[in-house]
Chains A and B, each alone.
Chain A
Amino acid sequence: MSTSSIRNEFDIDTEQVFNRMGYGTDGVPSARVESLVREYADNICHLVEPSYSYVIRDINSVRGSRVFIEGSVIFRSNVIARLLERCQKVAVFVLTVGGRLGEVVHQLSGDGLMVQAAVLDAIGSDAAETLAHVVQDIVGKEAEADGLGISQRFSPGYCDWRVSQQRMVFRAMGSDTAGVRLTDGCLMIPQKSISGIIGIGPADKVESYNPCPTCEKRDCVGRR
């Protein structure tokens, strides 16, 4: 298991932030929104307390849509099963940018400053995604050292992997969940947190796995 807090220097991808707020590739933000996004993005380091944890576990077997992982962990999903049947190991991770940003968003919202709240919320989501890329790179380097490759990230709540499977993700993590808590409704607290898995196996088999082109959910935010 590997747990770390990292230096909170984030390069926020402002294009992604605008994307999250619905601008897409063609929308042009007004000057005031653009300047607000830049101001918050430049100062995000004061609001985030990034930390992550991951554990690499053996895959015992895959039967139908069920994947049996070391430590009595069972993932149920066709998409995840088709991924992990190509893999030897799976990295299970939880990461967060901390609770401070959420508190400020809540405060802004309560004060009726909804534009600022919405912008900061979108930046917080991008900060969590940025941290997820960091974790993916770290797992990738670890796999590479063993002559293996990694898949894309998958999280409960996407594809056919139910949100309730968060419980299994957290079971796989053991006691170290980077300070992230799971509610009875499988909601992560702090909110700006991401959990999920990354498959580890022969590069030629795992790197190309992408269920999106055959999926009917065209409006899925995770579509790749």
Chain B
Amino acid sequence: MTEGDIIVRLKENVIQGRKNQDEEGIDEKLSGTPGVVELTRLALEKKILLEEIINALTAGMTVVGEKYSSKEYFIPDMLASAEAVGEAMEILKPILEAANVETKGKFAIATVQGDIHDIGKNIVAILLRGAGYEVNDLGTDVPTEKIVDFVKKESPDYLGLSALLTTTMTEMGVVIEALKDSGLRDRVKVLIGGAAVSDEYAQEIGADAYCVDGFHAIKVLDSFQQAKTS
């Protein structure tokens, strides 16, 4: 397999959501051929540039995002691709760290106090990892003090808050107020999501953005990155 073939196949296998050679993917005929994990290892053996490998993974996820938006792909397909990229990023992590390559940013995510829903939060977390962010998942039912403490000690660039119910979403506003009181609000961009929240609610509590889903969160973060560099 040439270096060019590896890169093409890496992207294709992300689109197929094939973590390893044992998985079927969307196209069942691929079963038995190398998946994202094997191709990532092969790319490293062949000394393909890290940037090229990451670009192939990102390009694959971009196609997945497009297919998800056009309803050609659905949640399980998107998750399979994100899982595959997540595995590849785990393989690349020590090499990226050794090469001092920075991630796109540090993202802390939590379901606020009083709420224990985690599927939506976990989907966002896996998509962001696949998009090149360093994600710290603080869990569910996370006390405001713990979130503020994390922001203080770890200085994440972004904070994602999740809540499903109208009775629990108010805690998001409590977190933002606590960040202000601690003098930390300007250090971190706050994104909110969940079934009960909206753009209007984000504005009301002073969040920086409301995200409909994980792909939307990636777009919002990209726009923050662009604003930072321009």
With both chains docked as a complex, state the minimum distance between the C-beta of B164 and any C-beta of chain A, in angstroms.
Answer: 8
Contact string against A for B residues 135-176, beta-carbon threshold 8 Å, 1 for contact and 0 otherwise:
000000000000000000000000000000111100000000
Task: Out of B76, B82, B86, B165, name the residue touching A21 (CB < 8 Å).
Answer: B76
- CB of A117 within 8 A of CB of B165, answer no
Task: Out of B23, B24, B119, name the residue touching A105 (CB < 8 Å).
Answer: B119
Q: What residues of chain A lie closer than 8 Å to B119, measured between beta carbons? A: 105, 109, 117-118, 121
Q: A187 contacts the other chain (Cβ, under 8 Å)?
A: yes
Task: Out of A105, A113, A186, name the residue touching B167 (CB < 8 Å).
Answer: A186
Bound Cα distance from A61 to B86, whole angstroms: 58
Q: What residues of chain B lie closer than 8 Å to A191, measured between beta carbons? A: 116-117
- CB of B165 within 8 A of CB of A157, answer yes
- CB of A32 within 8 A of CB of B83, answer no
Interface size, B (range) = 20 to 34
- CB of A185 within 8 A of CB of B114, answer yes
> Quick one: which of A160-211 are within 8 Å of B by CB?
162-164, 183-187, 189, 191
Q: What residues of chain A lie closer than 8 Å to B117, measured between beta carbons? A: 191
Q: What residues of chain A lie closer than 8 Å to B79, measured between beta carbons? A: 114-115, 118
- CB of A115 within 8 A of CB of B116, answer no
B28, B82, B119: most-surrounded residue (chain A CB, <10 A): B119
Q: A97 contacts the other chain (Cβ, under 8 Å)?
A: no
Residue of A nearest to B82 (CB): A114
Q: B21 contacts the other chain (Cβ, under 8 Å)?
A: no
Bound Cα distance from A162 to B71, whole angstroms: 32
> Quick one: which of B109-137 are within 8 Å of A by CB?
114-119, 122-123, 126
Task: Out of B23, B76, B123, B167, name the residue touching A119 (CB < 8 Å).
Answer: B76
Q: A2 contacts the other chain (Cβ, under 8 Å)?
A: no
Q: What residues of chain B lie closer than 8 Å to A24, measured between beta carbons? A: 71
Residues of A within 8 Å of B, CB-based: how many? 34
Q: What residues of chain B lie closer than 8 Å to A183, measured between beta carbons? A: 114, 116
- CB of B123 within 8 A of CB of A187, answer no
Q: What residues of chain B lie closer than 8 Å to A114, measured between beta carbons? A: 79, 82-83, 122-123, 126
- CB of A22 within 8 A of CB of B75, answer yes
Q: What residues of chain B lie closer than 8 Å to A117, measured between beta carbons? A: 119, 122
Q: What residues of chain B lie closer than 8 Å to A106, measured between beta carbons? A: 118
Q: What residues of chain B lie closer than 8 Å to A189, measured between beta carbons? A: 116
Q: B25 contacts the other chain (Cβ, under 8 Å)?
A: yes
- CB of B82 within 8 A of CB of A187, answer no
Q: What residues of chain A lie closer than 8 Å to B12, measured between beta carbons? A: none
Bound Cα distance from A133 to B77, whole angstroms: 30
Q: What residues of chain A lie closer than 8 Å to B74, measured between beta carbons? A: 21-23, 27, 29, 33
Q: What residues of chain B lie closer than 8 Å to A186, measured between beta carbons? A: 165, 167
- CB of B165 within 8 A of CB of A115, answer no
Q: What residues of chain A lie closer than 8 Å to B83, measured between beta carbons? A: 112-115
Q: B188 contacts the other chain (Cβ, under 8 Å)?
A: no
Bound Cα distance from A26 to B70, whole angstroms: 12
> Quick one: which of A73-123 are within 8 Å of B by CB?
105-106, 109, 112-115, 117-119, 121
Q: What residues of chain A lie closer than 8 Å to B118, measured between beta carbons? A: 106, 109
- CB of B126 within 8 A of CB of A112, answer yes
- CB of B167 within 8 A of CB of A29, answer no
Q: What residues of chain B lie closer than 8 Å to A105, measured between beta carbons? A: 119
- CB of A118 within 8 A of CB of B123, answer yes
A24, A114, A119, A187: most-surrounded residue (chain B CB, <10 A): A114
With both chains docked as a complex, state the minimum distance between the C-beta of A123 and any C-beta of chain B, in angstroms.
Answer: 12
Q: B80 contacts the other chain (Cβ, under 8 Å)?
A: yes
Extra 12 A-B pairs, beta carbons < 8 Å, given A31-B28, A32-B26: A24-B71, A27-B71, A27-B74, A29-B76, A115-B80, A117-B119, A118-B75, A119-B76, A157-B165, A187-B115, A187-B168, A191-B117
- Shortest beta-carbon contacts, A-B, top 9: A185-B114, A114-B79, A185-B168, A185-B167, A33-B76, A32-B24, A186-B167, A115-B79, A22-B74
Query: Which residues in B have some Cβ–Cβ distance to A below 8 Å?
Result: 23-26, 28, 71, 74-77, 79-80, 82-83, 86-87, 114-119, 122-123, 126, 165-168
Query: Which residues in A have some Cβ–Cβ distance to B below 8 Å?
Result: 21-24, 26-27, 29-33, 36, 105-106, 109, 112-115, 117-119, 121, 157, 162-164, 183-187, 189, 191
